[in-house]
Structure 1
């Protein structure tokens, strides 16, 4: 991805205006405007067309990588739904992937996957979008697909598909909302914050009662109302020419008739007559208080100063909420947000009290409100404004690193503002915010204003609420079964002069060059691998230091995660707040995380600010204060985090699987440790691990920068001069402690879904050996959306939102795992299907069509592999870790092309033996145990 003659200013000041040039009118369409860069400006160049049928086409040319990103955004989200018909926008997102008149059932995913592409769709309150990134030779195929579901969908929407996707949506809600701690908080707050019937008063995913009562004709009517080309924006970016794209779009989209006209929605001011207290019981560890104020709407003049106010009140460790609640350990978490949508925004503040503090939710509310009053006395500082201005510029520039990122911005601005050319103004409007603006919006929207106060408390502990409920949420709309019939539909029919049933034939897969890189070995033992990348004026750096989770003592597991957190806290010279403030003013980020065998340090910075960022990095790494206060706070937060995670089915499944797979060893424990091991850790343990393991010998640094490497090295004198080596000790991984054929059942009371894991020990990771080949073997079983196991459990049965299988490995261990979160009442049936699919694949192996699909899907991915700095970091890190030559890419491609059906079948038979596998199920044990026993297997209730 390159910016094509675009030079981005590294300072907001003095950004020039862009040129906008209307031109002539090609046949069947109008070129509305052409935007290109003039001078040192922040802009995404594009051409904007409008077809006769109202479709808006935006084309951004980016010739740096042989790929293309296609986005179709429809200006319809949950806000366009009717009372009693919530969830339609999201439901229809699912239906759009089920095949259309000229595209077979479930073929959309398969076609994109075998093209080497990625794809998805998303729905929010205001819009629904569908997008694909593929090698550029696949552009016409993507347009054929998108046009077919825009103009030729309804004849392929059947009652059977409708029923299956209705179950899939229910599973999605179960997994993402009902089975998650605090998952229903947002929808409850929305019901209280917005007037009854307001478009934001119901959740995007909808009320399940609404989805249960409607029929397939209701869904078709929704499509006919909102999915016309005149309510859509087609945005295409990549290695294309605008005029050639226009010709293809005219061919595939031009004949699709307009839909009904769509008018902008009203944006009424939302206000509350008094503060509304509401509460709910949930399966959570800690109570939570959440305070929400209605404010403005997206792109309103007051949105930017409200965002600054939010940062001061509750974003980062310089914020008032952090200082008044988290720093002094009154709360485990406390923060603020200002979420904005097209019609309304919500200024929210929340806190989870620390159990050791003895504070109640009422106390939390009082401290939050006192923090607001403190803001009045504190006011706004120059640093407050500098931080958010730097953040906005940095976010804007980092957003230009991928074609996907640029296309998404163009599409969003066009859909919501009718102006794709808004990126410069988005940054500039924050630059214009003054101290007086921030104080003004505080007075106008927050001070003394009514709010919604939501208390979420553990089940049976209603005495913990901040205050007694004084507001009742609206009762569900009472509506009977839908009576919409096919006769109520007014179909639109496109007339073409070509045969749409003929799938376009793509040209040759584009040649992709492996990034050119340089390598250097510092005298202190750090291997450095880097590449020059001037597509954006940014630098990304990954430093990997030997010594991670595997190097912990068993009874001190979690010491690495605490150390990682402490390495971005206070230093010997500056407080945590001072360090964070300086980093924020640069618009940079420094993250430290503990991995299995390494401590990883990740840096993102505008290249202009890299020297200052690296100065802060070296201070973090080499001058940590190791403050007792910092340690005590982080340790307690870690323990509470583990306790809270115990309410999450996925965490419990992972924890049980690791314990049974690797026994009494560090590998058998969660990465962050357990309550017991975390409580065992002292500050001296953290210091000892740092002094023993934080050494340069054997370290690796990967660098992707627009700067010359000499300039980067000159900015890190302490890193280059660093000396020392860590112990050379191989970790003890542990041995399996499970009995194959037994189902280990972990209890989660009243779980809406069950988490299933079927696993066994596997191979350690390699690049071109048997481990790599097992992943090729796994691809049709559970490695893609169109895999056997996902199509069975999700698309055929409607048991789950997604099911997958895969082989994972590192230098020391490996695992095969099948996973799915399924409807609680389908647990037994889902497990039977998982066993069946694994067993049949192990016995019969891969089909010829699956082998062809796998070869195409994997070997056509190259165009997407190295586009962004992040992708380049990952690629180069792999080369460095395994001491590879660039030729390994071709070697892998050769393996994919030549691996035989017989070899894959032999690998399946060898590595997919059900009688060697562990089964873990997390769910409501009292109801699941008798059902699972019907499988004829021993069921053991496993205590974690």
Structure 2
């Protein structure tokens, strides 16, 4: 890769020394353009700070009010384009909740010159990725594409900004209304504790306050909405003068501004927009509310109104939040989790544009018998304890280090930098906010933290919500003192007509801009070395940010679990995350890591256990010391074991309440058999977890944590020699040989069988249709099969997703994919669908697969596949995490970098006959099984009428006799 010309500027910040940080400061230069600006375009601001954590940028304003922010970054052949509109659910009217999010969906449905489904297709077929998000305060649309596609992206974004409404039809409106309702079902109504935020918002804010409803809105409001309502919402808020266009990456500023002027210049200003007004939120007394939900474990949640985003007191309140409930150094951890009263206890301080909320919540540990009232008291007692101890120097150092490191980690991708610039501009009217953020946290004092505690929390009323399992209303923390009100919906008196005219141009917008010259994509250079004990190291240099990422891989995992102690590998890895060592307590380790701004985690999958480490490079040696201590000196404590065991058991119980977890659990057991450890949840079962002892953990650790099965992959701004030196402690690690896990036979699939699991009152049904398939092979049939599936179920605009989501509105998303490891693989189609469309969704899945099985791919689809996959390498190696994934594939499957060239040749030469042959081999539904999880009373008869052999399973996956 080429050297980054606008490389992230930084100084080696010491979070303990604010003076050092502030001494790095600079000032913004006089905005003098270094290019010829299009007529009417003004340079407003230009970054000129040096020696700080900052992102070079230029900010321009167009005559129609559109704000443009450009960031030039030549490190990778890609661009990221973000359009942020300063409109979220907080701009909605009473009774019209969900409009901002609804319009996020509508903006992808085509415009005057962009056909239905063409937006996704145009971006996907050039190897790009795209999405949109909505929150209370803004909606943004973004895409990352190869750099030669910039003009096409500007054409697309301009067309939906200025030429959308005539293309918004009633049919599109109805389909997307159903899609949004499906999304609510999946993310809110069908998810344990999913209604928490909505109910707390109702109780926290007065009726009519823009945060008194959720971003996704109420179903009744979505049902009430009309197409005219939605169009008027667009005309009010989506003008260029309420938008920020931010572009980062491999761009030419002169050419980019000229293209922006061409495509956006004729779009007229919208109505003038002012910033929303902050009105302090106050509660007259504690408001207790409760809900019975389909959960296994009760929860108590406390929330106080505080300030608003970017208020001077936000930073000290964030420090207070960290002291109270962020990690193992917090008071909630010490008093609730460590003592075993709670399986989880956390604090937060969520801030939005016109209001913040300080929150604490806890879930009780049934083994200790604590009630929600007990937990509420324990949380209140923790606040009282803070009054005595105050904010300690370590507290301030931890939070400040986290802010600095978080800023740097967030700048590892061009999308991260663009997102930062866009957010700062939207909320602060300047893109240059990183240093201001760092300085405001660096300036927080212990006195500030105590002051905000006294001002916003001490003896102040809160909303306290209890969520309890259905039928257990007697377990709430306290009787309700506040009731949900019947909303007063104003009469719609707006009878105005649209004043909508298309902008006038001197060029033909219907012509899709051509692609520029294809950029050159270079696979990251890699090096190989080994440590003194034989551990292989595969590394790559990434000199764009001062960070180092290391992943130690042990070739063992869940496949090594004894059947009577399932969960051993996964739960031991979690134990190493959370427990102390022979030399340090867990709290001491957490404190040391937090003050470095570093992160270490252990995890385990089917075949590999990993230790992942991320740090600022200046702190690499200290972080490596902590990693080695956690890896080689764990302390096997009965107290830690008992605490984590309780958490694991409650997690397993909760998974039985989640339809998606039930579907995947049953599917995997049917694929791999009850006598195979990889068929089961990584956490194990209630029986096997209860059957596992602390001595089992210690024995498994001694038998399996060894350098003999270890390898290392790393990405750093350091060169090979410096990295090898930093890794030398790993080279001193010793251990014996580790036995290979025994291969277990797989059961015969009862193809054509539909397995059904009842989930009472499920808002949606979960569907899985699949079979065993291929183990991973980067250049063999596995890779070719993935190419075959791309247009069937791999891409957003695949046949399956377009049918079930875009055409019929049955689901928020449907897909199919091959997944494989060294020895096994599956092919599965999946979706969460509307309850009343479960049977119809199964029919559509099967129809699409049968059609593809019978007729194969079209010439157009084959060309689309080759174009989309052939160009996506431009964004494949940008970040350290992406490079780490590339190195991991090489290490785990013994590949050389040339495997990428082989894949490209396979893709280039693939024919329709090749694809059709693979479709005949792998996508015949007759060779598959089905798993459906849903509300039996509502859907069973319809599903049974489809004619499949039916087998009912319980929530543990056992056949119901």
Instruction: Identify the residue that residue 591 of structure 1 maps to in structure 2.
Output: 601
Partner Cα distance (2:47, 2:65) in 1: 24
Deviation at 1:648, TM superposition (A): 0.6
Deviation at 1:713, TM superposition (A): 3.0
Q: 1:418 aligns with which of 429, 443, 447?
A: 429
1:294 and 2:294 matched? no
Q: 2:287 aligns with which of 276, 287, 294?
A: 276
Partner Cα distance (1:463, 1:81) in 2: 37
Native 8 Å contact 2:297 2:363 kept in 1: yes
Pair 5,169 (structure 1): closer, same or farther in 2 beyond 3 Å: closer
Instruction: Identify the residue that residue 677 of structure 1 maps to in structure 2.
Output: 688
SS of the counterpart of 1:356? coil
Partner Cα distance (1:856, 1:910) in 2: 24
Instruction: Identify the residue that residue 550 of structure 1 maps to in structure 2.
Output: 559
Instruction: Identify the residue that residue 622 of structure 1 maps to in structure 2.
Output: 632
Partner Cα distance (2:720, 2:516) in 1: 39
Instruction: Identify the residue that residue 606 of structure 1 maps to in structure 2.
Output: 616
Q: 2:498 aligns with which of 479, 489, 494?
A: 489
SS of the counterpart of 1:20? coil
Instruction: Identify the residue that residue 465 of structure 2 maps to in structure 1.
Output: 454
Instruction: Identify the residue that residue 64 of structure 1 maps to in structure 2.
Output: 75
Instruction: Identify the residue that residue 824 of structure 1 maps to in structure 2.
Output: 835
SS of the counterpart of 2:198? helix
CA distances 1:568-618 after superposition (whole Å, capped 9, x unpaired): 320001100001000000000001100111111111100001110000000
1:579 and 2:589 matched? yes
Partner Cα distance (2:79, 2:608) in 1: 36
More off after superposition, 5-14 vs 86-95: 5-14
Deviation at 1:940, TM superposition (A): 1.7
Native 8 Å contact 1:546 1:695 kept in 2: no
Instruction: Identify the residue that residue 564 of structure 1 maps to in structure 2.
Output: 573
Deviation at 1:717, TM superposition (A): 3.6
CA distances 1:262-298 after superposition (whole Å, capped 9, x unpaired): 0111000011000001111100001100000000000
More off after superposition, 531-540 vs 817-826: 531-540
- Give me the CA root mean square deviation: 1.4
1:930 and 2:936 matched? no
Deviation at 1:139, TM superposition (A): 0.1
Pair 488,455 (structure 1): closer, same or farther in 2 beyond 3 Å: same
Partner Cα distance (1:477, 1:284) in 2: 31
Partner Cα distance (2:96, 2:569) in 1: 49
Deviation at 1:561, TM superposition (A): 1.6
Deviation at 1:750, TM superposition (A): 0.3
Instruction: Identify the residue that residue 365 of structure 2 maps to in structure 1.
Output: 354
Instruction: Identify the residue that residue 529 of structure 1 maps to in structure 2.
Output: 538
Pair 543,53 (structure 1): closer, same or farther in 2 beyond 3 Å: same
Instruction: Identify the residue that residue 851 of structure 2 maps to in structure 1.
Output: 840
Deviation at 1:520, TM superposition (A): 0.8
Deviation at 1:36, TM superposition (A): 3.8
Instruction: Identify the residue that residue 777 of structure 1 maps to in structure 2.
Output: 788
Native 8 Å contact 1:18 1:43 kept in 2: no
Report the count of equivalent residues: 942
Partner Cα distance (2:158, 2:731) in 1: 55
SS of the counterpart of 1:357? coil
More off after superposition, 178-187 vs 692-701: 692-701
CA distances 1:297-339 after superposition (whole Å, capped 9, x unpaired): 0000000000000000011011111111111111111110000
Partner Cα distance (1:913, 1:93) in 2: 36
Native 8 Å contact 2:708 2:738 kept in 1: no
SS of the counterpart of 1:697? helix
Instruction: Identify the residue that residue 397 of structure 1 maps to in structure 2.
Output: 408
Native 8 Å contact 1:527 1:699 kept in 2: yes
Pair 551,762 (structure 1): closer, same or farther in 2 beyond 3 Å: same
Deviation at 1:566, TM superposition (A): 2.1
SS of the counterpart of 1:168? helix
Partner Cα distance (2:855, 2:37) in 1: 56
1:74 and 2:85 matched? yes
Native 8 Å contact 1:807 1:814 kept in 2: yes
SS of the counterpart of 2:660? helix
Native 8 Å contact 2:373 2:476 kept in 1: yes
CA distances 1:731-768 after superposition (whole Å, capped 9, x unpaired): 33441354211211111100000000001000111010
Native 8 Å contact 2:392 2:446 kept in 1: yes
Instruction: Identify the residue that residue 913 of structure 1 maps to in structure 2.
Output: 924
Deviation at 1:484, TM superposition (A): 6.5
Partner Cα distance (1:356, 1:82) in 2: 47
Structure 1 residue runs without a partner (length 5+)? none
More off after superposition, 652-661 vs 25-34: 25-34
- Relative to the length of structure 1, the TM-score reads 0.98
Q: What does 1:157-236 correspond to in 2, within 5 Å?
A: 157-236=168-247
Partner Cα distance (1:20, 1:42) in 2: 16
CA distances 1:445-490 after superposition (whole Å, capped 9, x unpaired): 000000000011111111011111111122133467x7877x6222
Instruction: Identify the residue that residue 869 of structure 1 maps to in structure 2.
Output: 880
Q: What does 1:689-768 correspond to in 2, within 5 Å?
A: 689-736=700-747, 738-768=749-779
SS of the counterpart of 2:41? strand
Instruction: Identify the residue that residue 18 of structure 2 maps to in structure 1.
Output: none
Partner Cα distance (1:84, 1:367) in 2: 39
SS of the counterpart of 1:40? coil
Partner Cα distance (1:566, 1:259) in 2: 56
1:662 and 2:664 matched? no
Native 8 Å contact 1:15 1:42 kept in 2: no
Partner Cα distance (1:698, 1:451) in 2: 53
Deviation at 1:527, TM superposition (A): 1.1
Q: What does 1:432-471 correspond to in 2, within 5 Å?
A: 432-471=443-482
Instruction: Identify the residue that residue 643 of structure 2 maps to in structure 1.
Output: 633
Instruction: Identify the residue that residue 502 of structure 1 maps to in structure 2.
Output: 511
CA distances 1:42-84 after superposition (whole Å, capped 9, x unpaired): 1111111100000000000001111000000000000000001
Native 8 Å contact 1:929 1:939 kept in 2: no
SS of the counterpart of 1:246? helix
1:793 and 2:804 matched? yes
Native 8 Å contact 2:527 2:720 kept in 1: no
Native 8 Å contact 2:38 2:257 kept in 1: no
Pair 31,912 (structure 1): closer, same or farther in 2 beyond 3 Å: same
Instruction: Identify the residue that residue 251 of structure 1 maps to in structure 2.
Output: 262
Native 8 Å contact 2:207 2:487 kept in 1: no
Partner Cα distance (2:349, 2:632) in 1: 36
CA distances 1:692-722 after superposition (whole Å, capped 9, x unpaired): 1111123211111112333333334431122
Partner Cα distance (1:724, 1:366) in 2: 48
Q: 2:11 aligns with which of 9, 12, 17?
A: 9
- Relative to the length of structure 2, the TM-score reads 0.97
Q: What does 1:147-166 correspond to in 2, within 5 Å?
A: 147-166=158-177
CA distances 1:538-573 after superposition (whole Å, capped 9, x unpaired): 101111012111111111111112211222320001
Partner Cα distance (1:536, 1:523) in 2: 29
Partner Cα distance (2:48, 2:905) in 1: 43
CA distances 1:390-444 after superposition (whole Å, capped 9, x unpaired): 0000001111110000000000000011011001111111000000000000000
SS of the counterpart of 2:53? coil
Pair 759,493 (structure 1): closer, same or farther in 2 beyond 3 Å: same
Partner Cα distance (1:228, 1:679) in 2: 60
Pair 414,733 (structure 1): closer, same or farther in 2 beyond 3 Å: farther
Instruction: Identify the residue that residue 959 of structure 2 maps to in structure 1.
Output: none
SS of the counterpart of 1:555? helix
Deviation at 1:877, TM superposition (A): 1.2
Deviation at 1:259, TM superposition (A): 0.3
Q: What does 1:257-268 correspond to in 2, within 5 Å?
A: 257-268=268-279
Instruction: Identify the residue that residue 311 of structure 1 maps to in structure 2.
Output: 322
Partner Cα distance (2:268, 2:501) in 1: 6
